[in-house]
Structure 1
Amino acid sequence: MRGLLLAAVMLGTVSAAHAADMPDLPILRGGFTDGLSKSSVNWDGFYVGGQWGFATTNIDFSHAPKSMSDFMLRDSILQAPVGGWSLLPKNHVQGTGFGAYVGRNWQIYDAVMGIEANYSYMNNIGSSASDSMTRILDGETGPSGHTYTYVTTLGGGASLKLKDYATFRGRVGWDGGDFMPYAFGGLAIGRAEVSRFATVSYIKHDDYDTSVTVGGVTTTTHHQDTIDTGAWSSVEQRTNAFMYGWTAGIGVEYAIYNNFLIRGEWEHVGFSNVKDIAVGLNNFRVGAGYKF
């Protein structure tokens, strides 16, 4: 018995000495240090910031004179065909912009959801176009042997300058520690300076043949008589024309010292037609903000 007791005491002494020589790892104390765990930023709360962006914009003037020509040719045989003409081009322009944003996040575990209001003032986002075209269009059904045609000319021009726009969007993000990738979508409203003009004119012809027989020889003569003409013009200009549409995009936010945030994002905005002009833009932005 005394031998067993002596052996136990010796083993305990050796084990204690060996443990004293091992490094003081935190795992041996029952936990990890902050350096071995995922760092976490509290994304919950209000935030504000400013931003700068570079935008590429498509301005489609194709049917800019349409509603004007429709009104001038209303209830006539020319209204439908002339209204379908693609008179003007689609222009691609680039420019810069700056603005601000404010929002609110709610965090549930690693999911971050929020709402945000975003404003951008645009520089040099504008374009213009003008052109004319002439076509021969079929007219009404005439008397036997007669064909009615309209030599129709449509002229027009338009210009648009996007001044600024605001978006109201929802966000969904993922807490990646110091960074948060996110996607968003919502509504957009823009303000533009728009002008356009249209001219329509036509010459109505009656084509027919007459035949004369002299001495058994028949001579056929073709005739083209002008039986009607018409011409109209219209001009419109709006200093502040509002456009409504939608927005969607993706981005990533990075937290510096927990409360200071920087971000980069891509935003697409599609506006409904304003004065028959369609506008769509892609905005690539960087920003900096503060979370309260």
Structure 2
Amino acid sequence: MRGLLLAAVVLGTASAAHAADMPDLPILRGSLSDGLSQSSVNWQGFYAGAQGGYGASDEHFSGSNTNMLATLLDHNVIQQMDVANWNLGLGGESHRSSGYGAFFGYNAQWEDVVYGLEVSYLHGSYGGMSQASKELVSGSALTDGFFHDVKVTSSAGISISDMATFRGRAAYAWGCFLPYIFGGFALGKADISRTVLVEDAVSTTIGGTYTSLQPLSANDTVHNHMIYGYTAGLGVDVNLVGGLFARAEWEYIRFTTNIDTNINTVRAGLGYKF
């Protein structure tokens, strides 16, 4: 037993002496975690660039003129035919367009994780229009004693020329690549038009001759109107040389106005980090 204890003491002393003679390896200083870093590019700082894009806008016109029609027919006898709630067939439209613009922002970097704030601008021609009509003859005389032949024609359109999104970004640096996701607030400048035309004719009998009355119409057209919404998307920045980088991106924007509009664009850009 004494022999085993003596041997253990001798071996422990020899190991301690050997460890004391070993060089101070980087791994002992925690450098292994630094060596595992995938980032070879410093993304921190301000940057700016130019971009071009192509995408589709989807407009949903259903119900966009309901309030206008109800106001136009307020206290009108033909409201007994529930005209304000007619389904006029204003549905959805989809159009494609290209655009160009710029972006600028700031990145803050912690090892391979990058956070940032960015403003992105795109000029183009996004939007569309829809028109529909419906005609109905009352099945019985209304309270004024006449049968009514009512036709309603409705149209709505939106044209968005400028869009700006204010985004928060989260990214992960991987070599010369910086894949990212973003979300934020969207502003747009749009021309919006809505029109309603109500034509009414009356007769003393349902099969008789109808006499046309003065048509009623309403128009609401605004130019350079500010619209609001939100944005989300993803993309990747690729360092080319020095502070120069290329960008590929997909962005979704939804504007919630009288005419609900969704815009999806794919973009390519070239930027420089200062």
Tell me if TM exceeds 0.5: yes
| SS class of match (1:41) | coil
- Alignment of 1:283 onto 2:265: yes
Q: What's the C-alpha RMSD, in Å, of the aligned pairs?
A: 3.4
| Aligned positions, number | 242
Distance (whole Å) between structure 1 residues aligned to residue 192 and residue 219 of structure 2:
11
Give the Cα separation in 2 of the matches to 1:168 and 1:75: 45
SS at match of 1:68: helix
- Aligned 8 A contact 1:206 1:227 in 2: no
Percent identity over the alignment? Answer: 31
Contact 2:149 2:210 in 1 (8 A): no
User: SS at 2:256's partner residue?
Assistant: strand
CA distance in 2, matches of 1:75, 1:267: 46
CA distance in 2, matches of 1:46, 1:233: 53
CA, structure 1 residues 254+89, in 2 after alignment: closer, same or farther (shift >3 Å)?
same
Q: Report the AA paired with residue 107 of structure 2.
A: N
Other-structure match for 1:243:
227
1:188/1:162 Cα in 2 relative to 1: closer, same or farther (>3 Å)?
same
CA contact (8 A) 1:48 1:103 kept: yes
Gaps of 5+ in 1: 1-30, 208-221
Following TM superposition, by how much is the alpha carbon of 1:130 offset from its aligned partner in structure 2, in angstroms?
2.4
Change in 2 beyond 3 A, CA 1:223/1:157 = closer
Shift of 1:158: 2.8
How far did residue 59 of structure 1 move?
Answer: 2.0
Deviation of 1:81 after TM superposition, in Å, equals 5.0
Partner of 1:259: 243
1:11-22 superposed matches below 5 A = none
Does residue 1:188 correspond to 2:186, yes or no? Answer: yes
Q: Give the CA deviation at 1:83.
A: 3.7
Matched, 1:85 2:87: yes
Q: Per-residue CA shift, 1:9-66, capped at 9, x if unaligned?
A: xxxxxxxxxxxxxxxxxxxxxx99xx99845111111110110000111122333432
Rg larger in structure = 1
Report if the CA contact (8 A) 2:196-2:217 is conserved: yes
Q: TM-score, structure 2 length as denominator?
A: 0.75
1:93 & 1:260 partners in 2: Cα distance?
34
- Tell me, yes or no, if the aligned pair for 2:57 and 2:96 is still in contact at 8 Å: yes
Q: What displacement does 1:196 show?
A: 2.7
Secondary structure of the structure 2 residue equivalent to 1:125: strand
Q: 2: CA distance between counterparts of 1:89 and 1:66?
A: 13
Q: What is the CA–CA distance in structure 1 between the aligned matches of 2:173 and 2:266, rounded to whole Å?
A: 23
How many angstroms does 1:253 deviate by? Answer: 0.8
Where 2:53 maps in the other structure, the secondary structure is strand
| 1:42 partner SS | coil
- Report what 2:74 is aligned to: 74
Q: Partners of 1:101 and 1:177 in 2: how far apart?
A: 23
| Residue identity opposite 1:133 in structure 2 | K
- Which residue does the alignment assign to 1:21? none
1:197/1:288 Cα in 2 relative to 1: closer, same or farther (>3 Å)? same
Q: In the alignment, what sits opposite 1:3?
A: none
